[in-house]
């Protein structure tokens, strides 16, 4: 049964006979074609390395090199203890202020969270600085693992001043939904992005390898009353997201157009 699966998805050993091309690149090409043709869809698992090696009559080292290349190119992702899967990349615009739940639901994905911490306490120095709080003011904190279609997609840590949300257990799914109900939903934000190497604890939660590159985002949400209402830190697996921003050349906008009365 496993041999039939590998053959139907990837092909036969006879297809790896191009002596001018390394075996792992030939195998990489076959698997890539399988994905491009839709025989393996986003989120589906590849056959095991052992099964591919046996059926394609190559070494496991060759299979591993082909899979490493697929992961490097963002075509596949690896989950610790689970195997290799076709990548489900999410395109997330940076010029729109939306919650994780809203972004995923727009793409037809079912979301849920695993709560790691919900608490209330005196704001730490970094929280006071980000939220412009006085010493001794309290915040509610939320730390959770975010899932889309049962796949871990982000780690999210957030702090909100207690004067806006007094009880951390008021949030059930979407923080922004509650903030909207409270009349303090952010309408703009300051964001800082950088690539970081993730530690072992967070890597285990996201089911990726320790020291993997992830996108780290800090966001300060600002309400319509110009109050800082949210300080969020998020860790996103680098192989799951494309962050997209529209940029414009302001000089073009200032060039007078034909017929413009200001000419």
**Between 212 and 250, residue with greater pLDDT:** 212
Tell me the pLDDT band of 159, cut-offs 50, 70 and 90. Answer: very high
- 33 has a pLDDT exceeding 50: yes
CA distance 148 to 84: 17
Beta bridge partners of 194: 216
* Predicted pLDDT of residue 62: 93
- 217 has a pLDDT exceeding 50: yes
* Predicted pLDDT of residue 75: 78
- 241 has a pLDDT exceeding 70: no
How is the chain split into domains, by residue range?
Answer: 2-86, 90-244
* Predicted pLDDT of residue 148: 83
The CATH number assigned to the domain with range 90-244 reads: 3.40.1410.10
Q: Which tens digits make up the pLDDT trace of 82-134?
A: 788 887 766 666 667 778 888 777 666 788 999 999 999 999 999 999 999 99
CATH number assigned to the domain with residue range 2-86, chosen from the 4 options 1.10.10.10, 2.30.30.60, 1.10.390.10, 2.60.40.10 = 1.10.10.10
- 9 has a pLDDT exceeding 70: yes
- Is residue 164 a contact partner of residue 114, using CB atoms and an 8 Å limit? no
Q: What is the mean pLDDT of the chain?
A: 84
Question: What mean pLDDT comes out for the span 225-243?
Answer: 86
Question: Residue 214's CB: how many other CB atoms inside 10 A?
Answer: 25
Q: The tokens of 59 are what?
A: 């070494």
* Predicted pLDDT of residue 263: 39
Of all residues in the chain, the percent with pLDDT exceeding 70 is: 85
* Predicted pLDDT of residue 167: 94
Mean pLDDT is highest, among 49-53, 124-128, 190-194, for 124-128
């Amino acid at each position: 049964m496993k041999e039939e699966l590998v053959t139907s998805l990837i092909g036969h050993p006879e297809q790896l006979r191009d002596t001018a091309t390394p075996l792992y690149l030939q195998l990489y090409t076959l698997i890539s074609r399988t994905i491009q043709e839709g025989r393996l869809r986003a989120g589906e698992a590849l056959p095991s390395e052992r099964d591919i090696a046996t059926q394609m009559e190559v070494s496991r080292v060759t299979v591993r090199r082909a899979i490493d290349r697929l992961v490097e190119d963002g075509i596949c992702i690896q989950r610790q203890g689970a195997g290799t899967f076709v990548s489900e990349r999410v395109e997330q615009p940076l010029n729109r202020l939306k919650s994780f739940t809203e972004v995923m639901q727009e793409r037809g994905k079912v979301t849920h969270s695993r709560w790691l911490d919900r608490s209330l306490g005196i704001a730490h120095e970094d929280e006071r600085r980000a939220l412009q709080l006085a010493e001794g003011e309290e915040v509610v904190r939320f730390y959770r693992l975010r899932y889309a279609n049962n796949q871990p997609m982000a780690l999210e840590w957030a702090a909100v001043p207690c004067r806006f949300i007094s009880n951390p257990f008021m949030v059930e799914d979407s923080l922004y939904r509650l903030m909207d109900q409270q009349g303090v939903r952010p309408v703009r934000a300051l964001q800082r992005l950088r690539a970081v190497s993730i530690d072992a604890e967070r890597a285990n939660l996201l089911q990726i390898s320790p020291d993997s590159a992830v996108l780290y985002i800090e966001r300060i949400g600002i309400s319509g009353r110009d109050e800082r209402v949210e300080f969020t830190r998020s860790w996103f697996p680098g192989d799951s997201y494309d962050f997209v921003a529209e940029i414009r050349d302001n000089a073009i906008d200032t060039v007078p157009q034909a017929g413009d009365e200001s000419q």
